[in-house]
Structure 1
Amino acid sequence: MGKIAGGRAAVLIAGLMLMAASPPDPAPDPTPNAAWAQPGAGNPLLPAYAADPSIVQDQGRWYIFATIDPWGGDHVGLWQSANGRDWSFSQPAWPTKAAATSPTSGDSMVWAPSVVKGRDGRWWMYVSVGSEVWVGSAPSPAGPWADANHGKPLIPGNAMPGYHMIDAEAFIDDDGQAYLAWGSGLHWVNGHCFIARLAPDMVHLDGPPRDVTPAHYFEAPFLFKAAGRYYLTYSAGNTTTDTYQVRYATGPTPMGPFTEAPNSPILSTDAAQNIVSPGHHAIFRSGGQTYILYHRQALPWTGPRAETLRQVVVDRLHVRPDGLLDRVHPTHTGAAVAGWPSSREHGLPWRASGQGADAAHGPERAADNNFATLWRPGPDGMLTADLGQLRKLHRSLLRPEFADRPWAFTLEASPDGRQWQVIVPEQEQHGSPILVTHGVTARYLRLHTKPGQTGGLWEWVIE
């Protein structure tokens, strides 16, 4: 168990009693015909296991920075989109576990990037590596990113003994002053939230941090301002179970004091909808509307599992005239974000055949335009696409289960399903989407995966 300091023991006990008094949620439905598995769902937003998202827009392009699951990777994940619906994956050269290390670093991986634009026009990233906070900078969200503090953490791992120095989130007020909030508990015991002003160089703290911990705080602070009021939103509970949730407090300044709102939490497990442990969020605006981007457990959910697998989703957030936040209605359809198209580009329609690893991961999952579902290869490792008639097929976009891992495949084509020719010899690539050109006239395409490799396919788009 972690330490509890500063008289927070009573707050923690009260929070645990409150959670214990709440009625248990019904068990989620893991079956493949549940509501979450229906074709065309807009949530999850990304074809990936990802968590702790940060979202920005620059010159008409959207960027999501996120932790790569399971439980972080050697790099941060970067997703880019011109329209907010069709996303491409990459991994910036910085930060990496190897590059962002110091004598006070722990063994934790790269987690929870927060990206903002400074007054100087540059972009700044505050990211948790080795359980301490590092800062990097770039001329654009697309990079190139580089360390900004001469190989040292902004907040070392031993800065506040007894608490986790992670989940740093930057906030820039209307006057241009930047602030940094961070802090988490240890061993799933509630933590502390610290906030400090950032110096004009965005690389150092301008004065000592202030402990602004509201009731039921565990981690993942996010500050925003609406109608002259400051909102400190944060997560409580355990992200690996079904208790994670988003709570909030309000205050008169970015440095607090913050008082938890009477209708907190605003987002929590809704097992009836198969929405489990939503949290660690970012709040953004588009077209004058407010949205919340957050992660939740990947489906199908059957209870705590060996690997922590989460996915990023988006829903609406409403600020009421009285200053309270409405409870978020989490969805599988996803929010109709202003300025984004209503759906993803999905290519030509096709019918799938072949084997799947089990009933929840059949071949049809690669053609259902739903990133909550995926095809996992059966023993033969083969998936066949029937386009219904002879068509000129220009390219395929393959979205593998793990975009950061190599994925090997071969493509064949046939006019009639009997005579086949190899159009893409076996190759190994990583990314999402993997773009494969194959100018061919055919009715059928057949995908072979490498025997024994891990990872399925979220989606196969044929154009």
Structure 2
Amino acid sequence: MPLKPLLLCVAVLAPLSAVADVRWDSPHVGNPILPGYYADPSLVQHEGRFFLYATLDPWGGRTLGCWESEDFKHWEYRELNWPTKEACTSPTSKGAMVWAPSVIRAPSGRFLMYVSVGNEVWVGAADHPLGPWSDANGGKPLIPETYRPGYHMIDAEAFVDDDGSIYLHWGSGWGWVNGKCFAVKLEADGVGFVGEPVDVTPTNYFEAPHMIKHDGRYYLSYSQGVTISDTYQVHYAVGDSPLGPFTEAANSPILVTDHARNVVSPGHHTLFTYRDRHYILYHRHRVPWVEREAYRQICVDAIRFTPDGLMEKITPSHTAPALVQGRGAGRLAAAATSSSEFDPTHAASRVVDGNYATRWAAAAEATDGWLQLDLGAEQAVGRAEVRFEYAWKPVKFVLKGSLDGRRWTTIEDHREVAFTGSPFVAHVGTETRFLRVEFADGTKADEMSVWEFAAYPDRHDTPSL
């Protein structure tokens, strides 16, 4: 059922260096903003809604992750028809999956997507952020893998200037060294090049360029380091033209690893403005961090400019700005138990803490299993919501309710037809005390994992988790 829009309340921010924060596993924190593993975010605001596109982790999938929100707190997973690994393959493609989207609304009103597939850059177009999307370049890459031998043709990011001109910045290196940034002005259709691309590589550049304009100057921010170690970080440089030259700022880098606070390798970001405030949307590693893994999560923090035009250094937070805080308000208090637990960090209690950095996982040796909420007494429940670990992977389960914990009534049965998406939402519409997710026979241990499990009163105006 449609939910009523929530009003956003953006508080006045303290200096970034003085923002109060909490532990990464504290209840009801705002970062990460999505339940799952995503990287390389891009954001579009359209008709009062946010559309967030990202790489599926680890190391991409056969398509992209896409989420939609009306308030930046409560997100729903959406499936896109394009791009796919199968549709974006050419004679020069390599084996890399679908990575690093950049989505803009062109001056024509159409939406354009630049995306890395097979170590090449492809471009698609659509009339709406959710599509349907179609290839915009005749079924071939805009930038083939062979375009600049020795460099990595990935991470294309589009920028629309005040006069409607579109520019594209892209490029990386191989083996985590020798990064190179290329730039070019595009034709009005966002596909053809105007002239030859130029090398605009600033110091300490490796990949993931992103451009904004502020007070008449052009800010090229980018990532440097190794994303699967703890060296990934955000730098920036400033120039007088989208095509450079760019000079790295004196206070760069501005966003770096902080092991003491469990923030590892923040980077590959996008900058956006909402209600006259500036934000940085970026990925960082899940906790606990394991070197060489690529399980990253999307976070947001505020960013400010000094009077002399510098970007202030960012203290990455777990609380997140007011833009995100308050997620999950109105759900019923509940205690969670389960058939087994992987370890104390992945206990059943994690599914009621309102924190997307924490989750329940079944024991490694588990075969089949269940996850249960106890509301403490019989209550009128309007709906139940479950956010499984992977929004794009099918899950087979049945949702049941009970007044006494012994006799159970089936609410929804997905044992035959698996569910994909996030959140799973079930209409309950009755009094109950217990709610239980029972995984189908044969479900593997690593497929039994949930970020959040919540019940809401029998009201239609309660926001979803």
- TM-score, scaled relative to structure 2: 0.89
- Aligned match of 2:208: 220
In 1, distance between residues paired with 2:224 and 2:96?
20
Query: Which blocks of at least 5 consecutive residues in structure 2 are unaligned?
Result: 1-21, 457-465
Contact 1:234–1:247 (Cα < 8 Å) also in 2:
yes
Q: CA shift at 1:436, angstroms?
A: 2.0
SS in 2 for 1:272: helix
Contact 1:346–1:369 (Cα < 8 Å) also in 2:
no
In 2, distance between residues paired with 1:424 and 1:123?
37
SS in 2 for 1:126: strand
Contact 2:327–2:354 (Cα < 8 Å) also in 1:
no
- 1:308 aligned to 285, 290, 294, which one? 294
- Determine if the alignment matches structure 1 residue 116 to structure 2 residue 100: no
- Aligned match of 2:431: 441
| Alignment-mate amino acid for residue 188 of structure 1 | W
- Aligned match of 2:317: 331
- 1:402 aligned to 390, 393, 406, which one? 390
Contact 1:229–1:250 (Cα < 8 Å) also in 2:
yes
Contact 1:86–1:345 (Cα < 8 Å) also in 2:
no
Residue range with higher mean Cα deviation, 412-421 or 121-130: 412-421
- Determine if the alignment matches structure 1 residue 343 to structure 2 residue 336: no
- Determine if the alignment matches structure 1 residue 424 to structure 2 residue 408: no
- Aligned match of 2:455: 462
Shift in CA distance, 149/346, structure 1 to aligned 2, threshold 3 Å:
farther
SS in 2 for 1:239: coil
Q: CA shift at 1:422, angstroms?
A: 3.0
Q: CA shift at 1:345, angstroms?
A: 4.2
SS in 2 for 1:365: helix
- Determine if the alignment matches structure 1 residue 382 to structure 2 residue 377: no
In 2, distance between residues paired with 1:457 and 1:130?
31
SS in 1 for 2:194: coil
Q: CA shift at 1:206, angstroms?
A: 1.0
SS in 2 for 1:387: strand
In 1, distance between residues paired with 2:156 and 2:325?
31
In 1, distance between residues paired with 2:331 and 2:92?
49
Q: CA shift at 1:334, angstroms?
A: 0.9
What is the number of equivalent residue pairs in this alignment? 426
In 2, distance between residues paired with 1:124 and 1:109?
20
- TM-score, scaled relative to structure 1: 0.90
- Aligned match of 1:21: none
| Alignment-mate amino acid for residue 438 of structure 1 | V
- 1:179-198 CA-to-partner distances (Å, cap 9, x unmatched) read 00000111111310001001
- Aligned match of 1:352: 336
In 2, distance between residues paired with 1:346 and 1:402?
25
SS in 2 for 1:209: strand
Aligned identity (percent) is 50
- 1:383-410 CA-to-partner distances (Å, cap 9, x unmatched) read 1201111112232211111111011112
- Aligned match of 1:203: 191
- 2:263 aligned to 269, 275, 289, which one? 275
Q: CA shift at 1:415, angstroms?
A: 1.0
- Aligned match of 1:250: 238
SS in 2 for 1:407: coil
- 1:201-247 CA-to-partner distances (Å, cap 9, x unmatched) read 11111110010101110000001111111111000001111110000
In 2, distance between residues paired with 1:400 and 1:342?
21
- 1:452 aligned to 432, 437, 444, which one? 444
* Mapping for residues 139-154 of structure 1, pairs under 5 Å: 139-154=127-142
Q: What is the CA RMSD across the aligned residues, in angstroms?
A: 1.4
Q: CA shift at 1:341, angstroms?
A: 6.3
- Determine if the alignment matches structure 1 residue 86 to structure 2 residue 79: no
- Aligned match of 1:22: none
In 1, distance between residues paired with 2:445 and 2:93?
33
- 1:292-335 CA-to-partner distances (Å, cap 9, x unmatched) read 0000001122x314x41000000011111111111011000112
Contact 2:319–2:325 (Cα < 8 Å) also in 1:
no
In 1, distance between residues paired with 2:204 and 2:373?
50
